[in-house]
Structure 1
């Protein structure tokens, strides 16, 4: 076996299963409500389902690794419209992917030299795929802690020079998981300057980009930031996005990678061997999804209603606020997040994710400690019921 596999940590939800096994059995009259997993529960739009049904003839052909030209064109058009920039070249700057998770992991394998003592800078808390991708590529993750006083952003200037010198890849997530914070243009300007100076690549995870609350206040994206700063070739930048949360199709496994043409070329070479092509069935459904915004506006409305209902209830109890974007609440707990999540489930049958499961201890602290992530993915009625149960639990504790 690959000895690097032994370096991987258990996934957060495996830790959660073990923790919940220690919890008291919840009252029998309370139906379980799971708000721990960021899996969209809103209905998949019918027109996407219909597009997939109408494309079944595509099962009889091997899909091209580079992706269907029509899909690459649809993605390029969507990027241009969404971010107000010139459309990326669909032939050289875009690759369809089997969701952003697959692409984020695979991309690290193409840009890391395992013999060079490479570092991969990861936000902390973070999506565990970043860490696993770094370790299995032969690099070591270096964690930069989110700071509440920076809107859960990062003090990039505090990273030591010797760390930057060994860095080959930097992961960012905006809107962030779990805090929902959005990177500003100044953050991008700082990172681009550092990438130019030290020669690392930026991988920008933007899978939550379409879950926001004001139609006129859309989160800034990496390609958009690069364009605004005159980096129209997107050098050193790869952005990853997905239909899963935007269009409520997590099981379809459809997303894209877009950015630096030189990086795309090498990633395509890797994928030729890796075997990560999107079938014609999924491609046609994806073209339909990227081409429609009405269902995405409606999706945001459903999330906004849940935040409007829950934040006033939970703010005085868990010191929770609206995020900039995404469908998570990043709430403080009055005592250990692990104990709180276990006790909450035992008393209320509501499952949340301990924040420390999403982070590592780095520089003397675990920035997820004494926090929980609440995913507002269930229907509004269930989320509201969960909030009332949490409120009663807090009143007793």
Structure 2
């Protein structure tokens, strides 16, 4: 298979690139992997029993949009968390939010908007945003999310001719990798901009339940308060981080009835709905908040460890939410190789999550560190990073 020419603009795949970079021996007797954001806390104890009770569901084709029980559970979560009343026809159960973030562009991106449509993405970014843009023939515009912009993209700074061509803007809050959180004013400004220039907002809120103190504000929450076009905002959530169930591959998107109907139609032809036994597990997970509180408490301990280790390091920003550290270094690739060779610690160069724009890569001078390991292992790894790079 030969990819279309437009895919030449896409950065190399992250993990093969990292494996090639670290294909060198290490002097360390113990290795610690702090690259991938795969939660390692215990998932809810009820998962096994619910799965066992619903095994017969593997003998049926699953509900395309999500079972009524799952959609009801998601609606209940949205009511408790954001005080939103979202009917079931405005929710689509996803086989992981990556599916939704990609297929939403396939279903909803305009074919033309003052010429070739534009899709805006933060920079650094989750690579599916760029792949989706290129797949639908849109021009991806990478909007820097740097220290100067509070590690959130400053969409308002873009020229009007770009905004007028924009069909979709991806926004991630809490942000991966920086842990920055968009407050209510940020969402109001972005939604107002989208109303003015008539584009959609795809709000990736996968890390919304891992935070320090105040729950992050939701994009759909603010859109409804503003009385924005009901089709203006789609939100995307996941059980991977909230419930430590990355292998369940369960999430959802919610938004305008028209947008969800078009996504459901695409799913009917090209999607892969979650098997019904797994939908039953997902429904139980969205119903229950106790395990989420326990999970968040474990991350609070890790935030404190990170602050203790790096609090005196110049340029260190303690994350507001999520479970990544975005640590400043001279060169991310050089730092990653040195850490691996000398200390046996694997981290991700920030440039692998970013795109070169105007001759600069906003991730070049950072490494991303995943705080998913048990506390003691995490602490060892962070001290090794500090001693190697900042000692």
* TM-score interval (norm. to shorter): over 0.9
- Contiguous gaps of at least 5 residues in structure 2: none
**1:114 to partner: Cα distance:** 4.3
Q: 1:159-170 residue pairs with structure 2 within 5 A?
A: 159-170=158-169
2:377 aligned residue (379, 382, 389): 382
Whether the 8 Å contact between 2:202 and 2:235 is mirrored in structure 1 is yes
2:243 aligned residue (247, 255, 270): 247
2:218 aligned residue (194, 216, 221): 221
**Aligned partners of 2:26 and 2:303: how far apart in 1?**
26
**Aligned partners of 1:275 and 1:149: how far apart in 2?**
40
Report the more deviating stretch, 146-155 or 337-346: 146-155
**1:389 to partner: Cα distance:** 1.3
Instruction: State whether structure 2 residue 281 is matched by structure 1 residue 281.
Output: no
1:27 — aligned with what? 27
**Aligned partners of 2:390 and 2:357: how far apart in 1?**
33
1:235 — aligned with what? 231
Whether the 8 Å contact between 1:4 and 1:135 is mirrored in structure 2 is no
**1:17 to partner: Cα distance:** 0.8
Report the more deviating stretch, 240-249 or 153-162: 153-162
Instruction: State whether structure 2 residue 1 is matched by structure 1 residue 3.
Output: no
In the superposition, the TM-score normalised over structure 2's length comes to 0.95
String of CA shifts for 1:258-312, please: whole Å, max 9, x gaps: 0111111111111110132121111100111001111111111111111211222
Instruction: State whether structure 2 residue 259 is matched by structure 1 residue 260.
Output: no
String of CA shifts for 1:153-181, please: whole Å, max 9, x gaps: 23222101111111111100000011111
Whether the 8 Å contact between 1:317 and 1:394 is mirrored in structure 2 is no
2:311 — aligned with what? 315
Q: Secondary structure at the match of 1:46?
A: coil
1:96 aligned residue (93, 98, 104): 93
**1:84 to partner: Cα distance:** 2.2
Instruction: State whether structure 2 residue 327 is matched by structure 1 residue 298.
Output: no
**Aligned partners of 2:389 and 2:55: how far apart in 1?**
51
**1:5 to partner: Cα distance:** 7.5
**1:4 to partner: Cα distance:** 5.3
**1:54 to partner: Cα distance:** 1.5
- Contiguous gaps of at least 5 residues in structure 1: none
**Aligned partners of 1:211 and 1:11: how far apart in 2?**
27
In the superposition, the TM-score normalised over structure 1's length comes to 0.94
CA shift in 2, pair 1:28/1:154, >3 Å:
closer
**Aligned partners of 1:63 and 1:96: how far apart in 2?**
11
1:108 aligned residue (105, 109, 112): 105
Whether the 8 Å contact between 2:120 and 2:141 is mirrored in structure 1 is yes
**Aligned partners of 1:188 and 1:234: how far apart in 2?**
15
Instruction: State whether structure 2 residue 361 is matched by structure 1 residue 366.
Output: yes
**Aligned partners of 1:174 and 1:260: how far apart in 2?**
20
Whether the 8 Å contact between 2:11 and 2:355 is mirrored in structure 1 is no
Report the more deviating stretch, 272-281 or 114-123: 114-123
**1:395 to partner: Cα distance:** 5.4
1:13 — aligned with what? 15
**Aligned partners of 1:47 and 1:98: how far apart in 2?**
20
Q: Secondary structure at the match of 2:246?
A: coil
**1:343 to partner: Cα distance:** 0.7
Q: 1:37-76 residue pairs with structure 2 within 5 A?
A: 37-76=36-75
1:349 aligned residue (344, 348, 354): 344
